[in-house]
Amino acid sequence: MLNKNLYLILLVLIFTACTSKKSPVIIYCSLDKMYSEPILLEFEKQSGIEVRAVYDTELTKTVGLVNRIIAESSNPQCDVFWNNEISRTIYLEKSNLLQSYISENASSIALKYKSEKSYWTGLAARARVIIYNKVKCKDGDLPSSYQDLANEKWKGKAALAYPLFGTTATHAAAIFELEGDEEAKVLFNRIKDNQTAILDGNATVRDRVVSGEYWWGFTDTDDANGAIEDGKNVGVIFPDQNPDQVGMMIIPNTVALIKGSPNQENGKRLIDFILSKQVEEELAKSRAAQIPLHPGVPFPDKVIDLSKIKEMDIDFYKVCDKLETSSYELQHIFVK
């Protein structure tokens, strides 16, 4: 009888293990499909686990998927959230919608790029940079800071993505945290009065600067690098690098396990893979030119070396706390 019972238990364990491996893992992903899909396909190839991915749109970067996770909270539909920024991942953590998970592949990543309680881990960062048209802007006469968006010298010549979505929203919230609410409101009202173009997304900012419709604008390093690789006549400025300036904002991708998700074990396997040095190296070499957060990962010259720039000194949790305030104020300033 004992042997028979043991045999049945072993059969159940084997069946459960096989079923778990065959069960598809669902990921909501706001990193551009052209960069994330090859990585997810490689995970499928190496693991034998099917990945079903849901992507977002350029206009509503991150926000749409976050709202979907919130709406599904009583019956989670996805296992993993791969966010191309950080503040709204922290919002999900604060909303008790993430499951704590410590991946062994996260051990060498700096603490400032990880959740205090292991609810998410950062990887493959981007920077907020200025892209400028080399025909319109001449060397020696270039913007150097987000403050220049309000400078009358650049009236009607600069562009910014809607500061309610994606990395631009995170950057704006960081400005509210650094400057204080009242000073930030004054600044963004000045930016509006300076006829700064508010466009659909960072890629649109890049494209309008490339065309010469606008002289310069704020975008992310992946969008800027794409224009340079395409041979466009644009340059990139690392903003706010002077001693009296706040430094350049670095925004990591983040990956997190969804609380109560249907396939947690395969979700953990996928997270481990995404957090590998192999993935960071691939994203650094790609058109996205993303910045590895694992020490020792090789990267090409086109990728920013964090040891050689002045990084904005911010607490991402405090930035997240400013999101509601900054979004409310900026909606009243820019949305008619």
Report the pLDDT value the prediction gives residue 331, as an integer from 0 to 100: 95
Q: Are residues 328 and 180 part of one domain? A: yes
Q: Does 297 lie in the same domain as 173?
A: no
Q: Is pLDDT larger for residue 112 or for residue 3?
A: 112
> Do 214 and 201 fall into the same domain?
yes
Q: Are 199 and 216 in contact (CB under 8 A)?
A: no
Range of the domain at 218: 126-249+319-334
Of 220, 215, 198, 204, nearest to 333 by C-alpha is: 198
As a whole number of angstroms, the distance between CA 19 and CA 59 comes to 38
pLDDT in tens, 113-168: 999 899 999 999 999 999 999 999 987 889 999 999 999 999 999 999 999 988 99
| 113 and 153 share one domain | no
Provide the CATH number for the domain around residue 144. 3.40.190.10
The reply to whether 92 and 239 lie within a common domain is: no
Asked, for residue 280, whether it belongs to a domain, the answer is: yes
pLDDT band at 58 (very low <50, low <70, confident <90, very high): low
141 and 117 share a domain? no
Q: Calculate the dihedral angle through the C-alpha atoms of 86, 95, 74, 48, rounding to the nearest 10 degrees.
A: 30
pTM score, whole prediction: 0.88
